[in-house]
Amino acid sequence: MDLYYINYFGLLHLIINKRDSSEFACEIVAKIQINPSFTVDHCKKKKPLQHLIYDYGAADDAPNITLVSDKDIDEQKSFHRFAGDRINNLLGSIDGVFFIEGEIGDDILCALWNPANREVRYLPGAPISFEWFALGRHLVFGLEPITKDYKVLYYNECEEYAAIYSCSMDSWKFFKHNTYVFENTSRCEQNMYNTADYLNGCYYWLLNERNNKYRILSFDFGNEAFAKMEGPPRGNEDYTWSGTLMLLGDSLGILNFVEGCINDVWVMIQPGVWNKFLTFHLTTRTKSFYDNCFICVTKSSRLASYNVVTNKTRLLEYRHPGLKSNPACGGCGVYYYKESLVKIKRQGNSELHLNRCFTKMSNKH
């Protein structure tokens, strides 16, 4: 496929050879190791960057995991089925570890998972019930970078208490916070990509406030506190904000839909200070972000990556009809993945009995 780029007046257009135009148009856990430095050193080693594709609709006898690099399909394998009726939420990876939220009957089952060493660590059940698909309900995953402690946060925008699980303590605790996003009729935008919200010890949400103004809500996994900061400025009264968070290298970014196929990318250069990075046409489904790349799906259900810094597009060696569907509907989720041998099992492999790992689900319809 021949790709040609024209950049004028700050607007990037991707032109496709006519014979290929129907094929592609660019849119554009767990005890820590006894020696924590092992985790740091291992993650710094040069490992090939991969994408982990999880097929939520795979048959029981079919591989549900495919690892894809920029050059080829590296491996297809079946991971032993997660205990539960289905996986509802897969977050990560962070230093090679994923967070899984599953459903089993009327309960929620949470776990950490390292695909490289096939370790799974089920979290103890929380002493409170978790809302089920409620507006403003969030269950997120992060790493405290100093101690290398994996943590899971349960947060409901309507409640004054939040709950956090720490791997090093192997327990949940509750704390009162002073962050009520419903003030000023704001709400946290749910990020459908599940790979773009954690950066350098903090988890981020996009707050959509009245008059289409955006702010950023963050949670620091180190001091376990929420904070707010300003988002990009509105251009004028006719400017439509409809965005989602993304990462550009080590910077927080916002992909903002303007109109038609035109999108802006904004980058936060320091807390509350934003620059518009570029404007471009985005005409195909986006599955995820990593580093400076969009991971997109072509019309023939093939993965492709687009680097917004180098303006380079690469077709990946993976096709699947489920790429065009949302994971919640049995489609495929695409996650940035860097292999790690971090141990997440409890010391001495003293895993909890599964009955102690269920959290009650409330408001299930």
228 token code pair: 């707010």
Instruction: Tell me how far apart the alpha carbons of residues 76 and 92 are, in angstroms, rounded to a whole number.
Output: 19
Confidence of residue 6 (pLDDT cuts 50, 70, 90): very low
pLDDT at 39 over 80: no
Confidence of residue 191 (pLDDT cuts 50, 70, 90): low
- Looking at the predicted structure, is the pLDDT value of residue 236 above 50? no
Query: Which tops the pLDDT comparison, 309 or 3?
Result: 309
Comparison of pLDDT for 224 and 20, the residue scoring more: 224
Give kind and range of the element (H or E) at residue 98: strand 97-104
What are the backbone dihedrals phi and psi of residue 190, each rounded to the nearest 5 degrees, phi first? -75, 125
Instruction: Give the other-Cβ count within 10 Å of 39's Cβ.
Output: 20
The residues spanned by each domain of the chain are: 3-28+48-362
Q: What percent of the chain has pLDDT over 70?
A: 73
Nearest alpha carbon to residue 167 among 346, 34, 353, 43: 346
**How far is the C-alpha of 188 from the C-alpha of 228, rounded, in Å?**
12
Give the model's confidence band at 239: pLDDT under 50 very low, under 70 low, under 90 confident, else very high.
very low
Question: Cα–Cα distance between 217 and 196 in angstroms, integer?
Answer: 14
- DSSP E strand stretches across 177-221: 187-189, 198-199, 202-209, 213-220
Helix or strand holding residue 141 (H, E): strand 137-144
Q: CB neighbours of 187 closer than 8 A, spacing ≥ 6?
A: 135, 136, 157, 181, 207, 208
Tokens 């904004």 found at: 266
The per-residue pLDDT for 148 is 92
Q: Are strands 358-362 and 130-131 parallel, antiparallel or unpaired?
A: parallel
Residue 327 buriedness (CB in 10 A; 0-12 / 13-18 / 19+): buried
The CATH class, in words, for 3-28+48-362 is mainly beta
* The pLDDT of residue 364 is above 60: no
Q: How confident is the model at residue 118 (pLDDT cuts 50, 70, 90)?
A: confident
pLDDT band for position 112 (50/70/90)? very high
| Nearest-angstrom CA–CA distance, 27 and 263 | 10
Radius of gyration of the chain (CA): 21
Q: Are 41 and 23 in contact (CB under 8 A)?
A: no
Residue 228, CB half-sphere, CA atoms under 13 Å: how many?
15
What is the pLDDT at residue 318? Answer: 87
Q: What pLDDT was estimated at residue 10?
A: 27
Give the SS3 label for residue 308: coil
Q: Provide the 8-state DSSP code for 151.
A: E
> Of 7 and 220, which is predicted with more confidence?
220
Cα–Cα distance, 351 to 364 (Å, whole number): 29
- Is residue 132 packed enough to be buried (19+ CB in 10 Å), middle (13-18) or exposed (0-12)? middle
Phi and psi, residue 251, nearest 5°: -120, 150
